[in-house]
Structure 1
């Protein structure tokens, strides 16, 4: 067979973002107004190689951006590369702090869920027709007949995971034991699947899980009393217990999903301090414990404490096991953020995050309100 030559157009395509070598990237920085001395060129180049031009400049230089008549971005006079890198460094440092607490909440939630499911539905993961099932007379805890919710896709995913997962400990249990209990299987499940599984559980199991994760002042009985009174006043009629239960589950699931999205943002090294989740935390977490100082109604409707960084901090506090850990959390947070203030005299990091200036006092009072 002969060699096939493809016809090519002599004109070069005009891509919006063509390849740009490192030298060109450094030249572009200076042309746009981001200064660094020649003595720092090697260090700047090293940071761009490590983190990428897009991550550093497009992600964190917008605080210094100014408008001009050209289509190219430009930055305010006096903007230094170190100013931009500081925003990046602050964001990653804050993310590392929050990530530890988010993983702890996730672990606690997963363990509580596994415990309640095993207590209620047993430990057999296999369906009756599964070849590995040594106890076909024992209904699986993943059997769809145990769940009244029609959206059972999470059961299918968890069942497939138990049969096909190639990671330990699930793989080891499948190859060496006669079943895979929930506390093992869910260690290899994505958090999104675990949350969707929680959503279809009977309410009595949900209630038990939630009661062990959040403080008493926000548990179902207090929520029920508050919501029945509020809904009756607004509509003049009573609501069913099913409505109240559904609202309570929704409040909790939204909080978990907000945490999941922030966790994924951090895990993928995306910009944290300006991140907004598509899930919102209900203002009931303020109203039920009557925490009047955490945020105002006007602030909430402007997004403060709704789906922003501040809402994440509040939800982390809600899901901590005790007051001592909460105080340790906000003290660590405060120490970290205060160090940012010293290195960021323009306060651009705080302006971008929209954290209330008195966030520490608000969070501390909120801890006292719920604990």
Structure 2
């Protein structure tokens, strides 16, 4: 048997820098800084993660340096971490509201709220039997039982939905909503969006689309996949509905019609999170976190920082005046909360 020659052999940090300089024409302004960047963010994250944005014909664009990539990655990570943080809050809030309605209407025992008679058997290729099986597999002992479900299996005589759903995937939790019958679906929809002026069917449509958009972007971030160019192509928001639900100034018809933003992209994801948080304090906190990120770009006086801002907004297609939009809403909410 011959010796296997690996097509991705080990390369020292110094060798990685040499490849970047001589193969990819990346400008290395400081070798020590380059070593530090590669040690903290890795070659793959810095190069492969962003090469579709800055590489043409296997060469970096003129003006792109490792220092630029390092700053770009730090800004991107900060914005991603903010989106991820509030995505998780939305997921937990949604599961809590869903569990509340199921417990109220069907009971707190898993045998009752997982009874197939309480749901449509199928809807848009979603099968309740598959979701039921996924729920049962959490506590039946066929695999290690996670906490907090394990505690209830060992110490209590039933597993309430608000406990079981902590171990249920976001995807299956969303599918639960789609399989609810009209009364329960209406109750969950009103808890998520307590807007009496929005048609029930528009609410349901928005909830399904927005939860899936949040889930899709969250999964991209969780698995360190390409985030900044991603669009949720299988789920898109209805323009009239999101404009109705948002405070004035965050999204305009021009954004949608001319710039094609706000419906299934990063900005759409951020807006969905803001709507579904449905809590003035959380919304204010989220706006403040984003404003900090945007101010970091504006406060940078160096040429690389200015280039980072231009490139980041161009690639993500976030509105160039997003900081102004968010600051106006943030200040309005502070006055409302008397802070």
TM band (smaller chain): 0.7 to 0.9
Which residue is equivalent to 1:144? 116
Which residue is equivalent to 1:125? 110
Which residue is equivalent to 1:48? 38
| 2:239 counterpart of 1:283 | yes
Are 1:124 and 1:181, in contact at CA under 8 Å, matched by a contact in 2?
yes
Which residue is equivalent to 1:35? 27
Q: Partners in 1 of 2:190 and 2:198 — Cα distance?
A: 12
Matches within 5 A, 1:212-227: 212-216=191-195, 221-224=196-199
Q: Partners in 1 of 2:64 and 2:326 — Cα distance?
A: 34
Report the alpha carbon displacement of residue 187 of structure 1 after superposing the two structures with TM.
0.8
Q: Which moved more, 1:103-112 or 1:355-364?
A: 355-364
Q: Partners in 2 of 1:281 and 1:193 — Cα distance?
A: 20
Are 1:124 and 1:141, in contact at CA under 8 Å, matched by a contact in 2?
yes
* Equivalent position to 1:317, from 252, 274, 291: 274
Report the alpha carbon displacement of residue 41 of structure 1 after superposing the two structures with TM.
2.9
1:290 and 1:199, CA in 2 relative to 1: closer, same or farther beyond 3 A? closer
Are 2:239 and 2:256, in contact at CA under 8 Å, matched by a contact in 1?
no
Report the alpha carbon displacement of residue 291 of structure 1 after superposing the two structures with TM.
6.7
1:289 and 1:141, CA in 2 relative to 1: closer, same or farther beyond 3 A? closer
Which residue is equivalent to 1:163? 140
| 2:314 counterpart of 1:351 | yes
Which residue is equivalent to 1:233? none
* Structure with a larger share of its residues in helix: 2
Q: TM-score, normalised by structure 2?
A: 0.82
| 2:180 counterpart of 1:210 | no
Which residue is equivalent to 2:220? 265
| 2:265 counterpart of 1:308 | yes
Which residue is equivalent to 1:76? 61
Q: Partners in 2 of 1:327 and 1:170 — Cα distance?
A: 33
Are 2:255 and 2:262, in contact at CA under 8 Å, matched by a contact in 1?
no
Q: Which has the larger radius of gyration?
A: 1
Q: Partners in 1 of 2:274 and 2:172 — Cα distance?
A: 24
Report the alpha carbon displacement of residue 308 of structure 1 after superposing the two structures with TM.
0.8
1:14-45 deviations in Å (ceiling 9; x for gaps):
x8x532513432111111222224xx434423
Q: Which moved more, 1:25-34 or 1:109-118?
A: 25-34
Q: Partners in 2 of 1:53 and 1:364 — Cα distance?
A: 36
Are 1:59 and 1:271, in contact at CA under 8 Å, matched by a contact in 2?
yes
1:127-157 deviations in Å (ceiling 9; x for gaps):
xxxxxxxxxxxxx210112212322121221
Q: Partners in 1 of 2:50 and 2:21 — Cα distance?
A: 16
1:83 and 1:36, CA in 2 relative to 1: closer, same or farther beyond 3 A? same
Q: Partners in 2 of 1:104 and 1:95 — Cα distance?
A: 14
Which residue is equivalent to 1:237? none
| 2:193 counterpart of 1:193 | no
Matches within 5 A, 1:85-124: 85-124=70-109
Q: Partners in 1 of 2:325 and 2:242 — Cα distance?
A: 12
Q: Partners in 1 of 2:9 and 2:246 — Cα distance?
A: 56
Report the alpha carbon displacement of residue 249 of structure 1 after superposing the two structures with TM.
2.1
Gaps of 5+ in 1: 1-5, 127-139, 225-243
1:171-193 deviations in Å (ceiling 9; x for gaps):
12112211111111111111111
Report the alpha carbon displacement of residue 364 of structure 1 after superposing the two structures with TM.
6.6
| 2:68 counterpart of 1:58 | no
Report the alpha carbon displacement of residue 87 of structure 1 after superposing the two structures with TM.
1.1
1:141 and 1:215, CA in 2 relative to 1: closer, same or farther beyond 3 A? closer
1:38-85 deviations in Å (ceiling 9; x for gaps):
xx43442343244332221122255443x4xxx5x1123443211011
For 2:206, what is the secondary structure of its paired residue? helix
